[in-house]
Amino acid sequence: MRDFLPVSREDMEKRGWDQVDFTFVIGDAYVDHPSFGPAIISRVLESEGYRVGIISQPDWKDPESINVFGEPRLGFLVCAGNMDSMVNHYSVSKKRRSKDFFTPGGVMGKRPDHATVVYGNLIRRSYKNKPVIIGGIEASLRRMAHYDYWDDCLKRSVLLDSGADIISYGMGEKSIVEIADALNSGIPVNEITFIKGTVYKTKSLDGVYDHIILPSYEELLSDKLNYARSFYIQYCNTDAFSGKCLAEPYDNIYVVQNPMSLPLTTEEMDRVYALPYMRTYHPCYEKDGGIDAIKEVKFSLISNRGCYGGCNFCALTFHQGRIIQARSHESIIEEAKIIIKDPEFKGYIHDVGGPTANFRKPACKKQLKMGVCTNRQCLFPKPCPNLEVDHSDYLELLRKLRALPGVKKVFIRSGIRFDYIMADPDDTFFREMCEHHISGQLKVAPEHISDTVLKTLGKPENSVYRSFCRKYAAINKKLGKPQYLVPYLMSSHPGSTLKEAIELAEYLRDNHLSPEQVQDFYPTPSTISTCMYYTGVDPRTMKPVFVEHDPHRKAMQRALIQYKNPNNYELVHEALELAHRTDLIGFDKKCLIHPRNKKDANTANKKTGRQMTDAELKFGISFEKYDRIQGVSSEKERQKRPSKRKK
């Protein structure tokens, strides 16, 4: 019978178990849905005959909180949650967030900072020698020495700080079963050194073949450039086919990373998503208001994994890899039919995609035999000549889904690579996407418009985005649909000075755009951009890159993107003065803000050839603009209403 996995000793005993094989400690509430990593790992182990008990958000101050099931037969699994615990807890300005969408009722504080480390040490207090396997996004991206933005320092591998025995990094379906089988066969955990997609510790490299020794942790601390060199070696060895073993020396031990697990085949992906998930959160959370995180994914479909987009600020290269793995149409349609039967389903499939929705196969044929190129990207700076651009499979899938009985609309909300669309000579997908799969607006991620910044972002030149915008507008005009683009933009990314931030503000002005959301660059572990932020160089070239570290100047860059917001006036004004761009303060249509003091007024007067009145200084706007707001159309009418203007 389909049911949730045990969350209490009572649940365990109802199943007739006297012991679990694995106790799975997770930082999120227990949600049994394939969009949640712990749900997939626990169901995969269950399908292989292993007994798994779930301990969700234990009290990390109480050692008894991880003894719900007693001592597990094989070991403990630890995952901080679907999000990095520090990103979950803090904004980029390091302010504590007010809500946790992965906790009952959105309550903040149910998991600790650096949850993987804290949970690992919590287990070690009671179980000195029991195997502890850590995984998930937090452990995966901290598997080697890494820069920690929140403490502003270089930290050791999370394997050492957590007291764990093995890291199952990346998408762990294959490695976790191999680890479980090895433990089940009686192999001591310290001898499990042969599994792809794992990181372990050893005192000797005698048994490690074809490996690269990275700079030691002490060398990384002594010189940031050593960290940049080490990071680039790691970056070049993230491929399952061509990657080598990497060994990072510490005082008296090595942390060894085996190559990444092989990509799942379509058949393997299908099996993973066909497991008996309950597709919602555990009912014990109903009394606390449920789990908000399920709302975004409950009526969505995952069709692929991996991304060869190569954005420098994204950790997907380190976590999922660059080789696309896709489910079959039949698997996705079967899941859609389950969704349709849900009483809460209203006819709308919210998303069909993955990290990048319109990637449904590897970039080229050689990737599944020889792996990805280590010295070039598939899309950046230009599409590779070997790139196979083809939307036909994705388009066919979308057509099948929207033809299902009970489905009113199928949306695409995952990231769309507009440069990949522009590289496709066939506009069929572009047209059908506009006609059937968006509702009023399409979110895309140009991130910036300055080619200088786009180069450090790993994004295509701005001309590609401009061409996409024109084509999008033309297609929608032909379809008779008043649909818009919502661009995601990033401030303060390495390479962006005030000059580039003002350039972006001018672009927004000229295109009449007012972004509601702006992301300040967030340095998270295991990205090229974070390495740039910490070291001040591009690890691929070792050339210097400008990095803005000052919080106030970062706030200026962010404010410039939303220069129309009155709350940002002072920051924008200060930024324009610092950049010697006071020509953008005035009443001309090219100006970003209006004067609010006599100094600015005099500058504006020189440009306009007229005196600024006291009323204009008071209101901070020109009479012409004030009249438009009030509906006054002529000089004669304006003279009739001076009393209202004074008010």
State the pLDDT at residue 632.
43
Q: Provide the token pair at 496.
A: 């962006």
Torsion of CA 162, 163, 169, 174, to 10 degrees: -140
- Residue pair 377/384 in contact (Cβ under 8 Å)? The answer is yes
Per DSSP, the three-state class of 238 is coil
pLDDT attached to residue 629: 42
Q: At what angle do helices 569-578 and 498-510 cross, to 10 degrees?
A: 120
Residue with tokens 């599994």: 195
The answer to whether 363 and 313 are in contact (CB under 8 A) is no
Rounded Cα distance, 391 and 420, in Å: 9
pLDDT for the residue 82? 95
Q: Which two tokens stand for residue 94?
A: 């390091």
CA distance 419 to 434: 16
Q: Which two tokens mark 474?
A: 């033309």
**The one-letter amino acid at 418:** F
| Residues with Cβ within 8 Å of residue 361, at least 6 apart in sequence | 324, 326, 388, 390, 393
DSSP readout, 40-104?
Answer: HHHHHHHHTT--EEEEES--TT-GGGG-TT-S-SSEEEEE--SS-HHHHHB-TT-PBPS--TTSG
pLDDT for the residue numbered 630: 40
- Length of the chain in terms of residues written: 647
30/281 Cα distance (integer angstroms): 6
The sign one gets for the Cα dihedral 312, 318, 319, 323 is positive
What is the rounded CA–CA span in Å between residue 356 and residue 342?
27
C-alpha–C-alpha distance, residues 86 and 113, integer Å: 6
Using the 8-state DSSP alphabet, how is residue 485 labeled?
Answer: E
How buried is 266 (Cβ within 10 angstroms: 0-12 exposed, 13-18 middle, 19+ buried)?
A: middle
Separation of alpha carbons 146 and 350, rounded Å: 36
Amino acid occupying residue 338: I
Instruction: Give residue-wise pLDDT tens across range 92-150.
Output: 999 999 999 999 999 999 999 999 999 999 999 999 999 999 999 999 999 999 999 99
Q: Are 163 and 121 in contact (CB under 8 A)?
A: yes
Give strand pairing partners of 486: 443
pLDDT at residue 636 in the model: 47
All domains in the chain, ordered by first residue: 9-194 (3.40.50.280), 299-439 (3.30.750.210), 441-579 (3.30.750.200), 598-646 (no CATH)
What are the start-end ranges of the H helices in 206-302?
Answer: 217-222, 224-235, 266-273
Mind listing the pLDDT tens digit for each residue in 267-280? 999 999 999 999 99
| Positions in the chain whose pLDDT score sits under 50 | 621-624, 626-636, 638, 642-647
**For residue 606, which amino acid is it?**
K
Quick one: DSSP state of residue 264? P
Asked whether 193 and 166 are in contact (CB, 8 A), the reply is no
Q: What is the pLDDT of residue 301?
A: 98
